[in-house]
Amino acid sequence: MIGGANTFGHFARKLEAERIEAASVVTTILTDPERYLDAQLPPAWRTIGMVELLCDAARTELVRWPRRSLHLAQLAAAIADALPESYPRLLRAQAAADGWKAISNAHRFASRHDAALTALDIAGARISDEPALAYDRAILALARAITLREMDRMDEALRVLEGARETFSDYEDVQQVAQCDLVTGMIHHRLGRLADARQAYMRVIPSARAAGDLHTVAAAYNNLGRAAADAGDMNASVDALQQARAIFRELDMPTETSRATWSIGAAQLAASRFESAIAILGEVRREFQKLGMPEEAGLAGVDLIEALLATNARAAARELAGEIVDELRRAALNERALHALSYLRETADVATPSAARHVGTYLRRLKDEPKLLFIEPDPER
């Protein structure tokens, strides 16, 4: 057996040095990751530090540039699979699982869910026989549950989550337990089990707060607010959403802050507090425009049209629909979206608030189903 505090200290120092060395290399790779997939790997790059930093970089690039994230993750996985045997087998296996998980994330972000699951299978196979890697297996299980949820395979996702949560509880890792509860809440929410969803979100808040993970606390409040709104509990909804917004603001996350404000406006609209909804949604729309998010500005605008129609402010509704059509045309958005919004502009003099809601629902679905045809709402409704 290789062991003892000295060996452990040796690996700790080695890893630290590798991370420092890898930082400058990965910065260079970031300029054009794909090029490095087709160049020979310098032996000095075959380190765990490189794998870790490439996986971190892949995670950072996910939102901005998913394709680049995939290339970084592929490079990480290739290096991990080629690590020299001077590393203990367990560390090589762990690094490979990390690299393949990064590949899975990149696929999931681009909605290639089957590929994401296959990459997770590969990651899992690397560490399945390592007794000491239960924590890493739980991390993979959480990633699998998130992917399954996005694929609408809710029962499987819940089963997988249960196992991951149990392992994280064994390790007393409250942050990861909170992540599991958050995903559990989202699954119940999607299935319409609102009481279960609200309970799960409530569980997240103290755990994530204890772990100092304010972003997850805010996400839980945000989801809690939406679940409460769906359950018709508007006061609880607005309270939770205001908490979420305050934390997002504290974290200096303007996009999330605006999204939380949008949810507050939507809750006011659902509670028929139209004047308040009009003020909030108007503000949200301006924020999204400032942030350069035309799609969100357009969708918030459709909610605003619903509120305007409810107060019989038809001229304002028609004018706003026209504005949104122009904005979305400039942003070169899906033609079908323009068609639905044009319908709203043309019928503003007679349309009911539910027609605006119908258009809003269609536009939200269009994000996932870009070929979905717009069907005009039944005028009797």
- List residues binding another protein (CB under 8 A): 1-3, 5-9, 11-13, 15-16, 19-20, 23-24, 26-27, 30, 36-41, 43, 48, 52-53, 56-57, 70, 74-75, 77-79, 81-82, 88, 90-91, 94, 103, 107, 110, 112, 114-115, 118-119, 122, 125, 129-136, 167, 170-175, 211
Write down the residue that tokens 């068609």 correspond to. 339
Nearer to another protein, 38 or 335 (CB): 38
Nearer to another protein, 6 or 312 (CB): 6
Nearer to another protein, 144 or 259 (CB): 144
CB of 54 to another protein, least distance (A): 10
The answer to whether 344 touches 351, Cβ cutoff 8 Å, is: yes
Give the closest residue to 285 by CA, choosing from 265, 271, 269, 268: 265
Write down the residue that tokens 């762990």 correspond to. 94
Dihedral of CA atoms 235, 239, 241, 244 in degrees, nearest 10, equals -170
DSSP class of residue 85?
Answer: T
Angle among Cα 224, 253, 330 to the nearest 5 degrees reads 100
CB of 253 to another protein, least distance (A): 19
> Side-chain half-sphere of 122: how many Cα atoms within 13 Å?
20
Give the closest residue to 218 by CA, choosing from 198, 248, 197: 248
Nearer to another protein, 82 or 350 (CB): 82
CA distances from 379 to 321, 350, 353 (A): 19, 9, 11
Q: Which amino acid is at 173?
A: D
CB of 170 to another protein, least distance (A): 4
CB of 107 to another protein, least distance (A): 7
Nearer to another protein, 117 or 355 (CB): 117
Nearer to another protein, 165 or 318 (CB): 165
Dihedral of CA atoms 175, 185, 244, 310 in degrees, nearest 10, equals 170
Measured CA to CA, the distance from residue 144 to residue 124 in angstroms comes to 10
Nearer to another protein, 139 or 146 (CB): 139
What stretch of H or E contains 16?
Answer: helix 4-29
CB of 130 to another protein, least distance (A): 7
List the structure tokens of 363.
């536009």
Q: Is 348 helix (H, G, I), strand (E, B) or coil?
A: coil
CB of 9 to another protein, least distance (A): 4
CB of 35 to another protein, least distance (A): 10
CB of 95 to another protein, least distance (A): 8
Nearer to another protein, 112 or 329 (CB): 112
Nearer to another protein, 38 or 378 (CB): 38
The answer to whether 110 touches 62, Cβ cutoff 8 Å, is: no
Give the closest residue to 2 by CA, choosing from 10, 127, 136, 47: 10
Give the closest residue to 361 by CA, choosing from 321, 303, 320: 303
Nearer to another protein, 36 or 374 (CB): 36
Measured CA to CA, the distance from residue 104 to residue 112 in angstroms comes to 9
The answer to whether 185 touches 200, Cβ cutoff 8 Å, is: yes
Give the closest residue to 271 by CA, choosing from 306, 299, 245: 306
